Amino acid sequence: MKKQNIILFLTDQWRWDTLNQPGNPAKLPNLQAFKQEATNFTNAFTSVPLCTPARGSLFTGKLPHQNGTMDNVSGGSFYPEGKLHPSHPTYMERLMAAGYDVSFIGKWHLGKGTLIDRGITDAPLSDGGDNALVASVDDLEFAEDRLNPFYGTVLDGIPADEQRAMIGIERLERYAKSDKPFCLIVSLHGPHFPHNVPQKWVDLYDDLPEDYMPDNYIPQFTETDKPHAQSAHYWPCQDTRGLTQQDWRKTAQHYWGFCSYIDDMFGQFWRKMKDLGLDQTSVLGFTADHGEMLGSHGWFDKGPFFYEEVMRIPMFMHTPNGKAGEVRDNYVSFRDVFPALLDQAGVGDLLSDEEQARSFWKSDADHITYGYDAYQGRQFKFRGIRNDRYKYAWSPHDIEELYDLETDPGERINLHQSAEHAAIKADLKDQLFDQMRAEEDALAYPGYQLPVGSYIDGRPHEEQHIHQKPK
């Protein structure tokens, strides 16, 4: 089989329901049309709902406890540095060794300059190259009612993600003239906050009800029988107690506006692929590293928990010989995106036997497991498992969680002490620990763990972290 090109259009903090739940307010005509041409993996989940660890698992195929990227990485704001160590090669490096050209545009979030260190020198507007992780907004003009980072209406200027998408289109034109196979990754920062969105896309959601709130909203930190880890915020914008109902409405309006803005960029990108004939010679994936709470349970952003809003992600793949509009319901992990892409691109020999078995096209898993380890230098050790009906979460230093997604889709009622569900919980825990042992996860074995939220450097959890900007 001739080697196919590999293209990944990667977003950040994009919710599954925007593209898969009937009646969702998000207006995404290009991606909805693409879904009818591609394969939709409806049970796709992130490996960890946090940017750096998720991306580390994506690009290496290894879980955070296996490759060391267990916390976010940026610089002065974080302890420890947490860069992806060179001893863990990425799939892009395997592809380069196999004769592929590689371009990486945009958000990397695994160590400043470390894409170039790995030999991936075409890294425009990327922190893996020589750019900052978060683009400057100095060239943007905003409406007066901006509430950073929740919402900001851009009146003038071109946000960085649009610039990245346009570079991606230019790379398509360049690669179409070459006979050499290529791997192109367009990695956008959005719809991750700050939600700086041009007026045109914000206006699409002017019809949002004035009293809009998420169905499972509850004032933050008022839910009962939840893990202690959910009783505090760990980044300034995660504290939502000061937001009004109108603030939540505007935040949702800008979040969905950001999605629509990116939908338009993706539409231009996909049309260019077709115009150049690259849709017949390339495998294209669209996904996100994790989701966004957007007011559910009173939270904004994400945190040390496994709610559907941050765990479930959109996952579409188009292959030249694929069945248009195919829907697959096997459970797949963000960690295995590249095995799925390489498998379909005719370079499955670059994968281990284990990786090949985890390809979306070969796996028939009826459940998924995932984890969480740290955030902002604090320890939050959680592991979880989910099947069609139940979700179970375990921690060595916090209470368990068990949710019946059929009767309680909003995950409000923790059934961990329910005698009626004791056998279900025990079975899920056994499955989870079997997988943890198979993955050589130290948490599967007895050992001392610091209290929840304690800092890795020894500070107690009561001490508030000072969020300094990287120098």
pLDDT digits (tens, 9 = 90+) for 46-59: 999 999 999 999 99
Write the CB contacts of 232 (distance below 8 Å, at least 6 apart in sequence): 221, 453
Q: What's the pLDDT score for residue 450?
A: 81
pLDDT tier for residue 465 given thresholds of 50, 70 and 90: low
What is the rounded CA–CA span in Å between residue 402 and residue 300? 22
End-to-end Cα, the chain, rounded Å: 49
pTM of the model: 0.96
Write the CB contacts of 287 (distance below 8 Å, at least 6 apart in sequence): 8, 9, 10, 11, 14, 44, 313, 314, 315, 316, 334, 337
CA distances from 21 to 42, 109, 313, 314 (A): 10, 30, 12, 11
What is the rounded CA–CA span in Å between residue 250 and residue 93? 42
Q: Which helix (H) or strand (E) holds 332?
A: strand 332-333
Q: What's the pLDDT score for residue 466?
A: 62
pLDDT, tens digit, 9 for 90 and up, residues 77-116: 455 567 899 999 999 999 999 999 999 999 999 999 999 9
What value does the mean pLDDT take over residues 381-386?
A: 97
Query: Which of 202-206, 286-290, 422-426, 448-452 is least confident?
Result: 448-452
Q: Is the pLDDT of residue 357 over 80?
A: yes
At CA 108, angle to CA 104 and CA 114, rounded to 5? 85
Q: For residue 380, which of 12, 16, 72, 74 has the smallest C-alpha distance?
A: 72
Q: Is the pLDDT of residue 206 over 80?
A: yes
What value does the mean pLDDT take over residues 384-405?
A: 97
Q: What's the pLDDT score for residue 348?
A: 96
Q: What's the pLDDT score for residue 77?
A: 47
Query: pLDDT higher for 83 or 149?
Result: 149
Q: What's the pLDDT score for residue 136?
A: 86
What value does the mean pLDDT take over residues 231-252?
A: 95
User: Can you read off the two tokens belonging to residue 81?
Assistant: 């540095």
Rg (CA), the chain: 21
What value does the mean pLDDT take over residues 25-49?
A: 98
Query: pLDDT higher for 134 or 185?
Result: 185
Q: Is the pLDDT of residue 392 over 90?
A: yes
Q: What's the pLDDT score for residue 74?
A: 63
User: Can you read off the two tokens belonging to residue 111?
Assistant: 């160590």
pLDDT, tens digit, 9 for 90 and up, residues 305-343: 999 999 999 999 999 999 999 999 999 999 999 999 999
Residue 455 three-state SS? strand
Q: What's the pLDDT score for residue 467?
A: 56
pLDDT tier for residue 470 given thresholds of 50, 70 and 90: very low
Q: Is the pLDDT of residue 468 over 70?
A: no
Backbone φ and ψ of 394, nearest 5°? -130, 145
User: Can you read off the two tokens belonging to residue 148?
Assistant: 């950073």
Write the CB contacts of 228 (distance below 8 Å, at least 6 apart in sequence): 398, 399, 452, 453
CB 361 within 8 A of CB 385: no
Q: Could you give the percent of the chain with pLDDT greater than 90?
A: 88
Write the CB contacts of 112 (distance below 8 Å, at least 6 apart in sequence): 75, 127, 128, 133
Mean pLDDT of the chain: 94
* Reported CATH class of domain 5-366: alpha beta
Q: What's the pLDDT score for residue 122?
A: 98
Q: Which amino acid is at 333?
A: S
What is the rounded CA–CA span in Å between residue 312 and residue 329? 13
What is the rounded CA–CA span in Å between residue 38 and residue 327? 9
Listed by start position, the domains of the chain span 5-366
Q: Is the pLDDT of residue 376 over 50?
A: yes
pLDDT, tens digit, 9 for 90 and up, residues 421-462: 999 999 999 999 999 999 999 999 988 888 888 887 777 777
